[in-house]
Amino acid sequence: MMSKWGLVPRSFEGTLFDVVDELQRCGHISQMQSQQLYGLVRVAMGNQYKAELDMQKHLMLQTTAAVCGAIVPVIIGVQSTLADAAVKTYISYFAIFLSLLQTLAGTVSQVGGYNQNAITLRMTAAEIKAEIYKYQALGGEYSSPADYQAQYPRLMNHLAEFRQKAVAAAFEGRGGKDGKDEKKAEQDEARKVNDMMIGDGAKRGV
């Protein structure tokens, strides 16, 4: 049940590494090229893992806000039927607490941008995975010439664009430069995001 609702991270590891292994085993790419692809696969898996975590936060916060919003009117209705003044006072405090919790959960969800960030990360991961599969099949723009070595630079160029998009999205999502020079801040953020994505991919066991 929890997995179906997206509250438990799903496993996405394995398949892309199998693709890269097969390309190297068949002699289509060199060992160095396979290592480059391994790094980008980890970026894709790291993005997917981070997206699942952000989506969990978004769902939990939204669920909390919805439950609190549904309970408060019920509590107020029950309170009006009570005769004991002390109990009515405690119930009023509880209703106020739930209202504050609802507001806090909704605000954190909006300010954190977890839903939008999860969508961006999922899209970037999907683009990287789709591009590798397309390269493996020598389909689309990789079909002419139908040669793995000739098309490898084009693959790396596209994957670099997708990776940069993920870095830019994460940089924007974290709210700016923190007083640093813009170029320096961007470089620092790129290093952090790259390390985070690769590390998250490693945590998935991929």
Q: Determine the pLDDT at residue 61.
A: 94
Phi-psi region of 205 (alpha: psi -120 to 50; beta: other; left: phi over 0): left
- Which candidate, 133, 148, 135, places its Cα nearest to that of 30? 148
Whole-number Å distance between alpha carbons of 125 and 44 = 4
**pLDDT averaged over the chain?**
80
When pLDDT is averaged across residues 169-187 and rounded to a whole number, the result is: 55
Query: Would the pTM of this model clear 0.75, i.e. be above it?
Result: no
Q: Which of 48-62, 117-131, 162-176, 185-199 has the lowest mean pLDDT?
A: 185-199
Instruction: Label residue 206 by pLDDT band (50, 70, 90).
Output: very low
Q: Are 157 and 116 in contact (CB under 8 A)?
A: no
Whole-number Å distance between alpha carbons of 193 and 117 = 13
- Percent of the residues in the chain that have a pLDDT greater than 70, as a whole number: 74
- Which candidate, 12, 13, 35, places its Cα nearest to that of 23? 35
Q: Which of 7-21, 120-134, 159-173 has the lowest mean pLDDT?
A: 7-21
- Altogether, the residues listed in the chain come to a count of 206
Instruction: Label residue 116 by pLDDT band (50, 70, 90).
Output: confident
Q: Are 158 and 135 in contact (CB under 8 A)?
A: no
Q: Determine the pLDDT at residue 159.
A: 85
Which DSSP string do the residues of 139-159 spell out, in sequence order?
-GGGGSS--HHHHHHHHHHHH
Residue 197, pLDDT > 80, answer no
**Per-residue pLDDT tens digits for 100-115:** 999 999 999 988 889 9
Q: Are 54 and 114 in contact (CB under 8 A)?
A: yes
**Per-residue pLDDT tens digits for 46-94:** 888 889 999 999 999 999 999 999 999 999 888 888 888 888 899 999 9
Residue 12, pLDDT > 70, answer no
Q: How far is CA 115 from the centre of its chain?
A: 9
Instruction: Label residue 190 by pLDDT band (50, 70, 90).
Output: low
